């Protein structure tokens, strides 16, 4: 469904070259959950932004292919990419508060994408937005849809972001450490919600995290990113039981210390 081939995305601050992502290749099949594991600064988010073509100067995608259902996204115009973002590929970001517009009710923000990508009228889009809030288990959705982002807790805001991401039934969901800004109890609720919705809609998911416990609970396959380079890849079980790279071993050792992840 998604095939990334030899992707290289570099940044050029002050005329220096920084290889944020270098020669990275991977695939995500239909209904598959692939994890990207690595520490902050390893290039995980750069991969996500590259897929969505959201790399701006001083950054540049210098090589590679990003193929979605046989179509190379790097060869599309910006107008063509606008039709793909939110419709075929959606993303959940780390901080829902900064991702939501504070001056509009959440219903308007969810309905806007539905109108744009599905061609529905305002009333139909509004009703679909209510349905999406119900799907992500927000109580009294018919009332809460009129509320503003500041009227929701952090966990509820992230549920709104998930509703927005799934409203147009995308083929691929990118989740970029979506629980980082939440406390531990709420993290587990959101992770279970993502897991349930992935199964319900047979979603393809690219899950980005530094926590191997989350990878183990949510993903079938994983690749480990270190300084922009893939150092290990395989099934989650194989990587967990027989890590080959020293960096992977340290990440797994950290898991044993912090006991990260969710109950399965």
Asked if pLDDT for residue 40 goes beyond 70, the answer is: yes
Q: What pLDDT does residue 25 have?
A: 98
Residue written as tokens 């002050």? 14
d(CA 34, CA 222): 5
Side-chain-facing half-sphere of 207: CA atoms under 13 Å:
30
What is the mean pLDDT of the segment spanning 236-246?
93
Give the tens place of pLDDT for each residue, 53-100: 999 999 999 999 999 999 999 999 999 999 999 999 999 988 777 889
Phi, psi angle pair for 192, to nearest 5°: -65, -40
Q: What pLDDT does residue 183 have?
A: 84
Asked if pLDDT for residue 257 goes beyond 50, the answer is: no
d(CA 183, CA 137): 18
Mean pLDDT over each residue of the chain, to the nearest integer: 92
pLDDT interval class at 264 (50, 70, 90): very low
Question: Coil, strand or helix: which one is 78?
Answer: helix
Using alpha carbons, select from 246, 244, 218, 225 the residue that is nearest to residue 7. Answer: 225
d(CA 90, CA 164): 9
What is the mean pLDDT of the segment spanning 243-252?
90
d(CA 26, CA 154): 32
Residues 6+ apart with CB under 8 A from 140: none
Residues 6+ apart with CB under 8 A from 235: 220, 221, 222
Q: What pLDDT does residue 252 have?
A: 84
Q: What pLDDT does residue 258 have?
A: 43
Asked if pLDDT for residue 262 goes beyond 60, the answer is: no
pLDDT interval class at 255 (50, 70, 90): low
Using alpha carbons, select from 255, 257, 263, 177 the residue that is nearest to residue 212. Answer: 255
Side-chain-facing half-sphere of 85: CA atoms under 13 Å:
16
The pTM for the full model equals 0.91
Long-range contacts of 239-246 (CB under 8 A, 24+ apart): 240/212, 240/216
Give the tens place of pLDDT for each residue, 199-231: 999 999 999 999 888 999 899 999 999 999 999
């Amino acid at each position: 469904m998604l095939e990334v081939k030899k992707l290289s995305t570099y940044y050029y601050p002050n005329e220096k070259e920084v290889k944020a992502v270098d020669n990275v290749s991977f695939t995500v099949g239909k209904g598959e959950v692939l994890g990207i594991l690595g520490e902050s600064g390893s290039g995980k988010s750069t991969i996500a932004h590259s897929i969505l073509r959201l790399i701006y100067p001083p950054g540049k995608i210098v090589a590679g292919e990003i193929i979605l259902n046989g179509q190379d996204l790097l060869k599309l115009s910006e107008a063509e990419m606008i039709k793909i973002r939110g419709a075929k590929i959606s993303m959940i970001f780390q901080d829902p508060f900064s991702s939501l517009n504070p001056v509009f009710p959440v219903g308007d923000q969810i309905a806007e994408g539905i109108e744009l990508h599905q061609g529905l009228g305002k009333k139909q889009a509004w009703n679909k937005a209510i349905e999406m809030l119900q799907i992500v288990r927000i109580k009294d959705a018919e009332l809460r849809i009129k509320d503003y982002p500041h009227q929701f807790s952090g966990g509820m805001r992230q549920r709104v972001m998930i509703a927005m991401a799934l409203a147009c039934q995308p083929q691929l969901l990118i989740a970029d450490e979506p629980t980082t800004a939440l406390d531990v109890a709420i993290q587990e609720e959101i992770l279970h919600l993502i897991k349930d919705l992935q199964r319900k809609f047979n979603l393809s998911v690219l899950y980005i995290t530094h926590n191997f416990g989350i990878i183990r609970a949510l993903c079938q396959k994983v690749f480990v990113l270190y300084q922009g380079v893939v150092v290990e890849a395989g099934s989650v079980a194989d990587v967990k039981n027989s890590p080959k790279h020293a960096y992977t071993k340290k990440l797994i050792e950290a898991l044993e210390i912090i006991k990260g992840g969710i109950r399965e």
